[in-house]
Chains A and B, each alone.
Chain A
Amino acid sequence: MTAPHYLARRRAHTWDQPRPVRHLVSVPTVVDLSANSRLARERRPGHNGRHVVARLNQLIALQPGWDGSNAQPITEDAVMAALEVLNDIALERAPLPDISPGIDGGLLFEWRRDGFELEVWVDAAGAVTVTYEHGDSSWEGSWSDCGLGARQVLDHLADSLPVE
């Protein structure tokens, strides 16, 4: 297995624990999450977790101007805040989010399914905004104000997923 970026190490430690990720930040280093690695024995993300980590690793490797214009690289503050949010939701049950880089160095997570639209926008400074739309219903707010609502939406979407 190809060694993932240092991000995988942070995530591997914190996947199921709502702990402040910033306390776990260490010197960025490449780690091996293969079956023989110490990290893999300690805690291993599930399928969705591995997918998200792989995607984030792609995005944080983007160089300035990745949009063909003036886009900025993803900031560490954005990544850390995103991991805290992901740590706070039932990621393994929920549908996989579409993840995009923001031009300012932030990250966008989108869940679109059955007319539900949930977006979690993490800006370059790590501030998190949630937006939700379904039919005539919509709301928007910070993660601290709307995180519970977002988790409820994701739980609903998870319940609607076909059983494999």
Chain B
Amino acid sequence: MTSASSEAAAEIALCCPLHDDPDVPADAVLYRRLPPWHLHPAPGTPTGHRPSSNAFQDCDPQGVSIYVAELLERLKLGASDVVADKEAGWGVAQFLAGDARTAGFGVRLRPDPAADDDPRNEAHGELTGLQRGNPGGRQSKALSKKSLVIYLR
């Protein structure tokens, strides 16, 4: 296989290309909204719930949607605002950018072009580099273990 075709194969194996923004420090706190179907009982945790192993997967070719806590705070918003437009039962998982990178993701800031008028959009970003199939499942599982569900709507 040629180098070019190897690179092409590697791209195909990714749901979205790996982009990592070094301006997002490893200790940056990130939030991800989770549907009720990705939350399971976990006694002893702050909300009594944990994210499912596959909670950090997303078909979006741009990446796995996240919000940066510090940027939300600058907008006078918090974790609860991440799911303010969702039904009861949705939750918010918190984790560190460094943990996402350890799990094989890249982290980047990128407002959602489809959400220009969303007040949270300046704090929006993505986890990139999610692999397809079982390798992506392992990435998601690794990050879910480092995540804490901090808010339930």
Hey, which bits of chain A sit against chain B, CB under 8 A?
58-59, 62, 66-72, 98, 100-104, 108, 110, 119, 121, 123, 129, 131, 140
Given A121-B137, A123-B133, A100–B54 Cβ distance below 8 Å? yes
CA distance A129 to B137 in the complex (A): 11
Answer whether residue B52 sits at the interface, using C-beta atoms and an 8 A cutoff. Answer: yes
Which residues of A have CB within 8 Å of B55? 100
Is A70 within 8 A of B60, CB to CB? yes
CA gap between A141 and B123 in the complex, in Å: 39
B residues engaging A (CB < 8 A)? 33, 35, 37-38, 40-41, 52-55, 57-60, 65, 86, 133-134, 137-138, 141
> Which residues from chain A contact B141 at a C-beta distance below 8 Å?
119, 131
Interface centre among A100, A110, A131 (most CB of B within 10 A): A100
Which residues of B lie under 8 Å from residue A121 when comparing CB positions? 54, 134, 137
Asked whether, in the complex, the Cβ of B59 is within 8 Å of the Cβ of A104, the reply is: yes
Beyond the given pairs A70-B58, A72-B59, 4 more chain A to chain B contacts, judged by CB atoms under 8 angstroms and listed by A's residue number, are A59-B37, A67-B35, A68-B86, A100-B37
In the complex, A72→B41 CA distance in Å? Answer: 24
A68 and B57: CB pair below 8 A? no
Q: Which residue of A lies closest to B138 (CB)?
A: A131
- Which of B38, B58, B65 meets A100, CB within 8 Å? B38
Picked from A62, A103, A131, the residue with its CB within 8 Å of the CB of B58 is A103
If A68-B35, A101-B37, A129-B134 touch, whether A108 touches B52 (CB-CB below 8 Å) is yes
Residues of B close to A131: CB separation below 8 A = 137-138, 141
Task: Tell me the bound Cα distance from A31 to B137 in angstroms.
Answer: 35
Whether the Cβ atoms of B54 and A108 lie closer than 8 Å is: yes
